Structure 1
């Protein structure tokens, strides 16, 4: 499961930035799930017919007590009562989903490479970026693999209208 290994790597990479961000006065706030939301890992972003299309591997994202409940059901032999980082991912279906992105889609990031020096990347809560910046960052091979983060996608009329990068505690 590539996503589990990647999640551990991303979590380790975020530990120093998380400490800095939490010291900045804002605590982590879970993304509010809505019925029109899909959550997943980005497998591919491509320009097609004058717009971008995301291919995602959909997951179920759980946090807090809900994560602990699902964790106990699925990992009863782990010796733990809850997932170590407070979240749990279920990915029972390997099918991929393709969705077009609206030209005016909002994109909200938590961490990405702003300067070209990955060592300077730090968490900035709910930072809006342009769709072009998002696409460039997803495709970048700079050490911070943004496709290792889950994303929450608000879908309206069959297209993505908002993309929110999930912070990995």
Structure 2
């Protein structure tokens, strides 16, 4: 009896949560917004350039397609069927597409959060290791971005969060 009651409560709770999220999603899809709505999007990009313009940091990015897991395998099979037949799926569980040379410029918010996975911390190759989601200041990120002696961090994809046209978060994507 206790198990049935717990199952019923769990089912009702799940239904209530589903209804709340489904309703809010439908309102958004229908174009209903509040007066103070913030437009937020996340993009995966290569950062091509970083410079200060009129005292504000701007980045030039090349948007890419970033696929992981089964989505990566599907895209890999679609794009590279011969290789897919040979190896059976996307290498290392991810797949990147870059069908355009188009770049986009964004202003970076002064308080933007930056998280790095790997970069040249000491100038010594033997000290280069992965530290997952290490927070660094925006100023430190600018320095890391310019330092290409041991590792060029421009070669890594980044997930950027854009709120109302400004980049508020930059996360380096580690790729083996």
Instruction: Give the TM-score band, short-chain normalised.
Output: 0.7 to 0.9
The residue that corresponds to 1:73 in the other structure is 78
Q: Is the radius of gyration larger for structure 1 or structure 2?
A: 2
Aligned residue for 1:94, secondary structure, equals coil
After the TM superposition, which residues 17-166 of structure 1 pair with which residues of structure 2 at under 5 Å, given as runs?
A: 36-78=41-83, 79-166=86-173
Runs of 4+ displaced beyond 6 Å? none
What 5-or-longer segments of structure 1 have no aligned partner?
1-34
Larger helix share, 1 or 2: 2
Shift of the alpha carbon at 1:51? 1.4
TM-score of the superposition, structure 1-length normalised? 0.77
Once residues 91 and 65 of structure 2 are traced to their aligned partners in structure 1, the CA distance between those partners, rounded to angstroms, is 17
Between the aligned partners of 2:156 and 2:125, the Cα distance in structure 1 is: 16
Contact 1:118 1:142 in 2 (8 A): no
Please say if residues 120 and 150 of structure 2, whose CA atoms lie closer than 8 Å, have aligned partners that are also in contact.
no
> Conserved in 2, the CA contact under 8 Å of 1:118 and 1:144?
no
Judged with a 3 Å threshold, the aligned counterparts in structure 2 of structure 1 residues 132 and 118 are, in CA distance, closer, same or farther, namely farther
Query: Take 2:165 and 2:90, find their aligned partners in 1: how far apart are those partners?
Result: 34
Higher relative contact order (CA 8 A, sep 6+): 1
CA distance, structure 2, for counterparts of residue 94 and residue 74 of structure 1? 18
- Partners of 2:166 and 2:158 in 1: CA distance: 15
Shift of 1:80: 2.6
RMSD over aligned Cα, in angstroms?
Answer: 1.1
- Give the Cα–Cα distance (whole angstroms) in 2 for the partners of residues 49 and 86 of structure 1: 41
Distance 1:98 1:82 in 2: 34
Give the superposition deviation at 1:119: 2.9
Does the 8 Å CA contact 2:123/2:150 hold for their aligned counterparts? no
